[in-house]
Amino acid sequence: MKDLLTWTLETIRSDDTMMSWLEERRYEWAPIVGNAISKILEGQSVIVMTDDSFRWFEEYLVRQVNRPGTNRPLLPFFSFDAVYPFAASIKKDQDIDLLFDMLELSYPQGFFFWYIGKADHPMARIALRSDDSFLWMMDEEVANSFTMKSYDEMIDIKLLQLFRLFDKTLGAALFAEVDLEG
């Protein structure tokens, strides 16, 4: 079993679809992805949410993670819009409290948000309310997040590459090929 940093570097280098930018940022990547995957292995559900400009990626991610032919168990990934289609009605802290109450009842094994987008979007307000969120933030540094530039002309490709790396890491962790703690 390899440690996560070594495994990540080898995976990036052996995959022709990955670019060198991922290799340079693996030290930022490994701790947050290891934490997120550990929670999944513990039985927590993932609620995926994005700002408006990355809605396509939310749909892609939720569809791809459990696609047929992955040769692994189905995993609890859900679109926030499917879980709570009235997100636009969330305006006050009390609304977020009620949402969290509902989610805690719905996911007794636990849940966390996977948010992709800008920090000033209303969805970010929900995800940032929890210290357990898996954050891919655009244009702003936020503690325990992976930061990217929304105006990067390669952002869509980079998101797809990151998901590919995440998906490979998830599979390797499920089959004890990688040590998430190391």
> Average pLDDT over the chain, rounded to whole?
94
Q: How far is CA 130 from CA 45, 96, 127, 133, 159, in A?
A: 14, 11, 6, 6, 23
> Whole-prediction pTM value?
0.94
Element (H, E) at 154: none
Architecture of the 2-10+18-67+75-175 domain: 3-Layer(aba) Sandwich (3.40)
Adjacent-strand bridge partners of 126 = none
Q: Yes or no: say if 140 and 150 are a contact pair by the CB < 8 Å rule.
A: no
User: Tens digits of per-residue pLDDT, 129-172?
Assistant: 999 999 999 999 998 899 999 999 999 999 999 999 999 999 99
Alpha carbon of 164 to those of 50, 102, 110, 112: distances in Å? 18, 31, 25, 20
- Give me the phi and psi of 110, to 5 degrees please: 110, 165
Provide the pLDDT confidence category of residue 182 given band limits of 50, 70 and 90: low
